[in-house]
Amino acid sequence: MPMIRIEMFEGRTVEQKRACAKAVTQAFIETCGGTPESVSVIFTDVAKQDWANAGRLYSDPKE
């Protein structure tokens, strides 16, 4: 049973997540096989102050 985890900045709507889950599930089935019932998708919404890249929080003002 594949588990697909998607971490992204918070702010997406339920409709966007629903569409994403459907598209990701379909892409997985097309490339790796299986059934929609076998694929789980977990969304983790992350606040910009909780995510950093290159030592800089995404919530920090751009320099």
Asked about 2 being catalytic, the answer comes back as: yes
Q: Which of 27, 61, 12 is nearest to 43 (CA)?
A: 12
Max Cα–Cα distance, the chain, nearest Å: 47
Q: Name the DSSP class of 61.
A: P
The catalytic residue among 2, 38, 52, 57 is: 2
What DSSP designation does 41 have? Answer: E
Catalytic (active-site) positions: 2
